[in-house]
Amino acid sequence: MQIYKVGGAVRDRLLGKPVTDIDWVVVGATAEEMLAQGFRPVGADFPVFLHPKSGEEYALARTERKSGRGYGGFTFHASPEVTLEEDLIRRDLTINAMAEDDQQNLTDPYHGQRDLDDRILRHVSPAFAEDPLRVLRVARFAARYAELGFKVAPETLELMRELSESGELEALTAERSWKEISRALMENQPQVFIQVLRDCGALKVLMPEVDALFGVPQPEAHHPEIDSGIHTLSVLEQAALHQQPLTVRWACLLHDLGKGLTPEEEWPRHIAHEHKGLKLIKAVNERFKAPKDCQELALLVGQYHTHGHRALELKASTLLELLQSFDVYRRPQRFEEFIVACEMDARGRKGLEQRSYPQADYLRGAASAARGVAVQPLLEKGFQGPELGEALKRERLKALKAYKESASS
């Protein structure tokens, strides 16, 4: 029995990055031998075991053969005869197909270290094209390592393009897709993930609503970058630069989908794109079964982001409606995420990345003014039920009018 550290742990050590998760491959062992040493089995499809003390995953060396569509369409074979090289060749990228023993002696049959040095994301073998999930994984690695100068090898991008055109991407489950998308959006340069998907034709399959934004112009006075797709990438880039949470990044990606529906004869204006985009945002949310908080914020940002930009001009009654829409009294955090999504939208414009966004503090102040209205005095006056709700609205409106006056003086 020989045990090797494999995959990401080896890659990140060689890159000088912190190693978090460690995967191990066991060569020359049977499942029975693993069980005899106290390992606990966890793999339903192939033999994976948890170490009795560390809890880390140890997998028997295995080969795989394509047997159906999609990510799960594989038959696995594990036996003591499977070599380390045979196990490594089934992996996605050369930089993930390296192993080292307990003395840190490197086994690198597919030149992963050379590709690390050359900053190349390259597939290990033609079997790469058998697994559609790898399109998303490679795009995610491109986003993770973009700051180090990594690029996808042209021949790998071509295989990704073939996969995108084959219909295999449609076989991916919503859960698997969302896992990759959500992880990619939380990388340092998530816009690279979207760009790589677009470069290989996968964006058109997975998120046609986002793909449709590219080539759609906007008024240059407000959007020096002009192209709606480029703007979306820039907004996502700003969200990452400002270390926003997943909810905000997801909303940033989807906020302008309605612009893809504007007839060409109306370009570069996009009248009512906020309302038109809601059905598209809803469709993307449902396609990937995004978590509820991501779904809700994306819809609210899509509908109200132009309200955010015009906050200083809004009437007190419109401000009140906006706050009510967000249930700002019980869910203040959601309104805060809306505000920062609007700010990322404003900054995601060519040459305007550093400009101030006074709307943010103004909206925070408005929310604070409305939340400051006490319920108890109204209860003491005898208001109950619907009448109490109306009285609260009147008092909040009064507070917002006073806030507007003080803010403008």
Same domain, 12 and 77: yes
Please say which residue of 186, 206, 226 terminates a domain.
206
Q: Is the pLDDT of residue 75 over 70?
A: no
Of the three residues 70, 89, 113, the one that is the final residue of a domain is: 113
**Comparing C-alpha atoms, which of 312, 316, 408, 409 is closest to residue 370?**
316
Range from 69-73, 87-91, 142-146 carrying the lowest mean pLDDT: 69-73
Tokens 């073939």, located at residue: 162
Indicate whether 43 pLDDT > 80: no
CATH number at residue 178: 1.10.110.30
| Residue 78 in this model has a pLDDT that exceeds 90 | no
The set of residues, in sequence order, having a beta carbon less than 8 Å from that of 376 and lying 6+ positions away, is none
Query: Looking at the domain assignment, is residue 248 inside a domain?
Result: no
Average pLDDT over residues 264-281: 97
148/186 same-domain check = yes
Confidence of residue 47 (pLDDT cuts 50, 70, 90): confident
pLDDT at 395 over 90: yes
The answer to whether 102 and 22 are in contact (CB under 8 A) is: no
> Between 226 and 46, where is the model more confident?
226
pLDDT at 70 over 90: no
Residues 107 and 146 in one domain: no
What is the C-alpha radius of gyration for the chain, rounded to an integer number of angstroms?
26
Total structural domains in the chain? 2
Residue 112 is given by DSSP the state H
Q: What is the pLDDT of residue 21?
A: 83
Judge if 148 and 168 occupy the same domain: yes
Q: State whether 17 and 107 are in the same domain.
A: yes
pLDDT score of 63 more than 60: yes
The pLDDT-based confidence of 409 (bands split at 50, 70, 90) is confident
pLDDT > 60? residue 56: yes
Please, what is the average pLDDT of the chain?
94
**101 and 139, same domain (yes or no):** no
289-307, pLDDT tens digit by residue?
999 999 999 999 999 999 9
Average pLDDT of 72-93?
84
Residue-wise pLDDT tens digits, 243-267: 999 999 999 999 999 999 999 999 9
| C-alpha–C-alpha distance, residues 25 and 107, integer Å | 12
Residue 36, in any domain of the structure: yes
| Structural domain contains residue 340 | no
Residue 385 reports pLDDT greater than 70: yes
Beta strands 23-27; 2-6: pairing state: antiparallel
Question: Taking 60 as the threshold, does the pLDDT of residue 68 lie above it?
Answer: no
Statement: residue 73 has pLDDT above 60: no
**Distance between CA atoms of residues 76 and 96, nearest Å:** 19
Residue 146 forms part of a structural domain: yes
| Structural domain includes residue 64 | yes
Instruction: Give yes or no for residue 38 having a pLDDT over 90.
Output: yes
Residue 62 has pLDDT above 70, yes or no: yes
Q: What percent of the chain has pLDDT over 70?
A: 96
Q: Are 27 and 109 contained in the same domain?
A: yes
Question: Of the given ranges (20-24, 74-78, 183-187, 226-230), which has the lowest mean pLDDT?
Answer: 74-78
Give the pLDDT of residue 77: 80
End-of-domain residue from the set 145, 177, 206: 206
pLDDT tens-digit map of 342-370: 999 999 999 999 999 999 999 999 999 99
The 8 Å CB, 24+ separation contacts for 112-118 are 112/11, 113/14, 115/153, 116/11, 116/14, 116/15
Would you say 24 and 40 are in contact if contact means Cβ atoms under 8 Å apart?
no
* Residue 233, pLDDT above cutoff 60: yes
Q: Are residues 78 and 174 in the same domain?
A: no
Is 70 contained in some domain? yes
Owning domain of residue 18: 1-113
Taking 90 as the threshold, does the pLDDT of residue 44 lie above it?
A: no
Q: Which position has the token pair 């047997």?
A: 67
Judge if 141 and 97 occupy the same domain: no
Per-residue confidence (pLDDT) for residue 45, from 0 to 100: 66
Q: What is the pLDDT of residue 224?
A: 94
DSSP string, 334-399: HHHHHHHHHHHHHHSSTT-TT---HHHHHHHHHHHHHHT--SHHHHHTT--HHHHHHHHHHHHHHH
Mean pLDDT calculated for residue range 138-162 = 97
The pLDDT assigned to 154 comes to 98
Residue 282 belongs to some domain of the structure: no
In three state form, how does the secondary structure of the chain look? Answer: CEEEEECHHHHHHHHCCCCCCCEEEEECCCHHHHHHCCCEECCCCCCEEECCCCCCEEEECEEEEECCCCCCCEEEEECCCCCHHHHHCCCCEHHHCCEECCCCCEECCCCHHHHHHHCEECECCHHHHHCCHHHHHHHHHHHHHHHHCCEECHHHHHHHHHHHHHCHHHHCCHHHHHHHHHHHHCCCCHHHHHHHHHHCCHHHHHCHHHHCCCCCECCCCCCCCCEHHHHHHHHHHHHHHCCCCHHHHHHHHHCCHHHHHCCHHHCCCCCCHHHHCHHHHHHHHHHCCCCHHHHHHHHHHHHHHHHHHCHHHCCHHHHHHHHHHCCCCCCHHHHHHHHHHHHHHHHCCCCCCCCCCHHHHHHHHHHHHHHCCCCHHHHHCCCCHHHHHHHHHHHHHHHHHHHHHHHHC
Same domain, 17 and 105: yes
Q: Is residue 279 part of a domain?
A: no
Q: Do 4 and 100 share a domain, yes or no?
A: yes
Q: Do 76 and 157 belong to one domain?
A: no
| CATH code for position 25 | 3.30.460.10
